[in-house]
Amino acid sequence: MAATDLERFSNEEKRNLSLGGHVGFDSLPDQLVSKSVTQGFSFNILCVGETGIGKSTLMNTLFNTTFETEEASHYESAVRLRPRTYDLQESNVHLKLTIVDAVGFGDQINKDESYRPIVEYIDTQFENYLQEELKIRRSLFNYHDTRIHVCLYFITPTGHSLKSLDLVTMKKLDSKVNIIPIIAKADTISKSELHKFKIKIMSELVSNGVQIYQFPTDDEAVAEINSVMNAHLPFAVVGSTEEVKVGNKLVRARQYPWGVVQVENESHCDFVKLREMLIRVNMEDLREQTHTRHYELYRRCKLEEMGFKDTDPDNQPFSLQETYETKRKEFLGELQRKEEEMRQMFVNKVKETEAELKEKERELHEKFEHLKRIHQEEKRKVEEKRKELEEEMNAFNRRKVAVETLQSQSLQATSQQPLKKDKDKKK
Ligand code: GTP
Ligand code: MG
In tens, the pLDDT along 322-370 reads: 777 888 888 899 999 999 999 999 999 999 999 999 999 999 999 999 9
Locate the ligand 1 atom nearest the alpha carbon of residue 57 and give its number. 11
Q: Which ligand is nearest to the CA of 102?
A: 1
Residues with CB under 5 A from ligand 2 (ion): 55-56, 69
| 269-294 pLDDT, tens digit each | 889 999 988 998 889 999 999 999 99
Q: Write the CB contacts of 140 (distance below 8 Å, at least 6 apart in sequence).
A: 132, 133
Q: What's the whole-number average pLDDT of the chain? A: 88
Q: What are the CA-CA distances from residue 382 to residues 73, 128, 369, 377 (Å)?
A: 78, 84, 20, 9
pLDDT score recorded for residue 130: 92
pLDDT score recorded for residue 1: 47
pLDDT of residue 117 exceeding 70, the answer is yes
Cβ burial 229-266 (10 Å sphere, 16+ → b, else e): beeebbbbbbbbeeebeeeeeebbbbeeeeeebbbebe
Q: Would you place residue 241 in the very low, low, confident or very high pLDDT band (cuts 50, 70, 90)?
A: confident
Share of the chain above pLDDT 70, in %: 93
pLDDT score recorded for residue 419: 60
Residue 362 CA, ligand 2 centroid: distance in Å: 69
| 44-66 pLDDT, tens digit each | 999 999 998 999 999 999 998 88
pLDDT score recorded for residue 327: 80
pLDDT of residue 4 exceeding 70, the answer is no
> Mean of the pLDDT values across residues 150-164?
90
Q: Flag whether the pTM goes above 0.95.
A: no
Share of the chain above pLDDT 90, in %: 48
pLDDT score recorded for residue 184: 92
pLDDT score recorded for residue 9: 57
Tell which wins on pLDDT, 308 or 133.
133
Q: Would you place residue 420 in the very low, low, confident or very high pLDDT band (cuts 50, 70, 90)?
A: low
Among residues 126, 52, 46, 48, the alpha carbon closest in space to that of 83 is found at 46
Among 47, 48, 57, which residue has the most ligand 1 atoms within 8 Å of its CB, making it the best to mutate?
57
Lowest mean pLDDT among 1-5, 219-223, 262-266, 313-317: 1-5
| 196-206 pLDDT, tens digit each | 999 999 999 99
pLDDT score recorded for residue 96: 92
Q: What are the CA-CA distances from residue 275 to residues 239, 269, 283, 407 (Å)?
A: 12, 12, 10, 133
Question: Residue 381 burial (CB < 10 Å; 0-12/13-18/19+)?
Answer: exposed
Ligand 1 site residues (CB inside 6 A) read 51-57, 71-72, 101, 185, 187-188, 238-239, 254
Q: Is the C-alpha dihedral spanning 422, 423, 426, 427 positive or negative?
A: negative
Q: Which ligand is nearest to the CA of 54?
A: 1
> Mean of the pLDDT values across residues 212-227?
87
Question: Residue 308 burial (CB < 10 Å; 0-12/13-18/19+)?
Answer: middle
